[in-house]
Chain A
Amino acid sequence: MSELLAQIAECIEFGKINKAAPFPPQMKGQDGADELTKQAIEEGVIAQDILTEGLMVGMQKVGVKFRENKVFVPQVLMSAKAMSTAMVHLKPFFLSGEVKQKGTFIIGTVEGDLHDIGKNLVSMMVEGNGWKVVDLGTDVKAEQFVAAMKEHENAFVGLSALLTTTMVNMEKITKAIKEELPNAKVAVGGAPVTADFCAKIGADAYSADPQGLVEYLNSQVA
C-alpha cells in the first residue's frame, strides 16, 4: 500500500497526469496520478491517506524544488494538473467530510492588476497541500476581500501583484481588511514584493515562492 502511495507522490512530483500523457518522458507508458489514485481507492486505501501521504508529499517535493530553482513554472503546472486529476477521485470524500482540509485560503490579484499566472500558481500549490482555496480572480478590491473573509470565517488571505504600480494597492487593502477583521492574517506575494515591503504595509507574511506560503499556512494550523 505504501508503495502505491509513493508511486502517487512520484506522479505528482514529476507531473505524470495519466497513462496517455507523454510528459515526463522518463515515465512514458506508466500509470499516472489518475489511474493510481483510482486504484488506491478501489483497493480500500483511506482517502485521507491518499491525500496526505501520496498527493501532498509529491506537491511538497515540487514546491521545494521550485523554491530552489531546480524546476520552473512548466513543471509546477504539470504537477498541479496531475494533482487536480487525482483530486477528482477524492472529491466525494471531501463532500462527505471523510477527508478534511486544513483550512480556507482566499486569494486574489489586487485592484488595478490583471495578471494571474502567479496567483494561479499559488492557488494550485496551496490547494495541493490540503487547503480549500477561494480564488477571487484579478482586479480585486478591498471590499471584495473583506466580504469573502466574512463569508469564510477564520480564512487566511493572500494578495498578489505583478506590477510595482499595483503593489502599492496592497497597503490599502491590508489596512481595510485589518480594520474590519483585526485578527485576520494577510499574506502578500508577487514579483516586486519583498519582506521589507510586507513589514512596511503591516501584512503578516511574505514569501518569495509558493512553498514558503504553504509552510506559513501550515504553521498557523499546526
Chain B
Amino acid sequence: MCYFAGALCAPCGLLVLPQSYTKETMQSFTKDLFVMGKIIDQIKQGKILVSDGAWGTFLQKKGMQPGECPEEWNLTHADDVLDIAKSYIESGADMIETNSFGGTVYKVEKYGLADKVFELNKAAAEISRKAAGDKFVLGSVGPTGKLLMMGEVTEGELYEAFKTQVQGLEAGGVDAIMIETMTDLDEARLAIKAAKENTSCEVFCTMTFDKTVDGEFRSMMGIAPTDMVNTLIDAGAELIGANCGNGIADMIGIVKEIRKANAEIPILVHANAGMPVYQDGETVFPETPDEMATLVPKIIAAGANIIGGCCGTTPGHICKVREAVDKK
C-alpha cells in the first residue's frame, strides 16, 4: 500500500503515467503493480505466517487503568505502546496490530475524543509502523458497540465511522485493515466496505464465536462460522477468520468449519490464552505458551494460514508459536 508505494516506487521514476489518470486509477494501478495483496501473496505461496498477541492486557500491565481510553495512549504514552509493538516483532511475529481496536467515534466519544478519531488512529498506525520495520502492520478495527437492528445507528452512520478510522490507519502506514471481534454480519460488512472503498489496504475480517450448549459455534448475534464466509468475501474481505472468545483448541473446530465452506480463502486466527479464571483478586488466562504452541500443527492442518493471539497471550506465546510454525 501507500507506505511502500511512496517510498520505493515514486523515486525510481519508472512509472510514467498519463495525466488523465485519476487518483483512483493511480492507486489501483500502483496497487496491482507492486503491492497487491502483499500478505495474501505470501499465503498464496504457501507460507504460514505468525501474527501478534494481546494488546489490551499488555497496556494494563503498563499501568493503564480501567476507564482510561486505550487509544488515547497513542498520543499520551506513545513509548509504552511502541514497547508493546516492538516486543511482538522481537518475538518473531510477521505482523503486528495497532492500538486502535476501539478507535471509532462511537467508542472514543465516551472519553470526549470525538474530534480526534483520525489523529488517534494515525498515531496508532505510526507507532506500529515504526516498530515493524519490514514486517506487516494490521490496523485494528473493532465493533462500535451500537446495534443496527435496534435503530441505535444507521448503516450510513456506521459506514462513515469506519471510514474515518480506516483513513487514519492508512495515513499512519498500515498494510492491512484488520476488522475483528465482529458478532453482527451487517456491521462487519459495512466495516469491510468502508475499508475497501476508502483505502488501498488489504482488508481482513474476523468474527468472535462462542460455543453453544450443543457444542456449536455461534457469534453473540447467532452467526455460525459458515454463515459469515460468503457475506464477508462478497463484501470484499481478502482474508477471514476468528478471534477472541476461545482458546486455540476450540479455534481448530472453527477453522475446520470455515475451510469446509471455502477451500481457498486465507484464514487468520487470534486465539485467547484459554478462558479467563479469577485468582487472588485478578483475572488470569491460564494457557501457557507451550500449551498454545502444541496445538499449532493441528490448527495449520485444519486450514489456518495466519496464527496469533488475543486476550491473555504474551510475547512468550508468540515466540513459541513462531517456533512451532518454523518446525512445520
Contacts and interface: CB of A to CB of B under 8 A. Distances in A.
A22 B218 CA distance: 24
B231 to A, nearest CB: 15
B213 A163 contact: no
A53 interface: no
A125 to B, nearest CB: 15
A112 B67 contact: yes
B9 interface: no
Contact of B283 (A77, A81, A164): A164
A173 interface: no
Interface string A140-155: 0000000000000000
A168 interface: yes
B65 A73 contact: no
A73 B70 CA distance: 27
Contacts of A116: 145
Contact of A71 (B149, B183, B222): B222
Interface in B114-158: 145, 147, 149-150
A205 interface: no
Interface string A120-154: 00000000000000000001000000000000000
Interface string A166-193: 1111010000000000000000000010
B278 A165 contact: no
Interface residues of A, number: 31
Please indicate which of the listed interface residues A73, A75, A81, A200 has the most CB atoms of chain B within 10 Å of its own CB. A73
Nearest to B69: A114
Given A69-B214, A77-B147, A168 B281 contact: yes
B242 interface: no
Given A68-B213, A139-B67, A192-B276, A114 B110 contact: yes
Please indicate which of the listed interface residues A74, A77, A112, A116 has the most CB atoms of chain B within 10 Å of its own CB. A74
Contacts of A68: 213
B55 to A, nearest CB: 13
A82 to B, nearest CB: 13
Interface string B273-286: 00011100111000
A172 B82 CA distance: 33
Contacts of A77: 147, 149-150
Q: How many interface residues does chain B have, given as a range?
A: 20 to 34
Contacts of B26: none
A74 B278 contact: no
A197 B212 CA distance: 21
A93 interface: no
Interface in B193-250: 212-214, 216, 218-222
A206 B99 CA distance: 33
A111 interface: yes
Contact of B66 (A69, A166, A196, A200): A166
A71 B212 CA distance: 11
Contacts of A75: 222
A88 interface: no
B294 interface: no
A113 B212 CA distance: 26
Contacts of B278: 167, 194, 196-197, 200
A112 B65 contact: yes
B67 A111 contact: yes
A72 B222 contact: yes
B268 interface: no
Contacts of B220: 72-73, 117
A81 B66 CA distance: 32
Contacts of A163: 66
A69 B245 CA distance: 16
A89 interface: no
A192 B283 contact: yes
A117 B212 contact: no
B174 interface: no
A165 B66 CA distance: 7
Contacts of B281: 168, 171
22 contacts: A68-B213, A69-B213, A69-B216, A71-B222, A72-B220, A72-B222, A74-B222, A77-B147, A111-B67, A112-B65, A112-B67, A113-B66, A115-B145, A117-B145, A164-B57, A164-B276, A165-B60, A165-B66, A165-B283, A169-B66, A194-B277, A194-B278
Interface of A: 68-69, 71-75, 77-78, 81, 111-117, 139, 163-169, 171, 192, 194, 196-197, 200
Given A69-B212, A192-B276, 4 more contacts: A72-B222, A164-B276, A165-B66, A166-B66
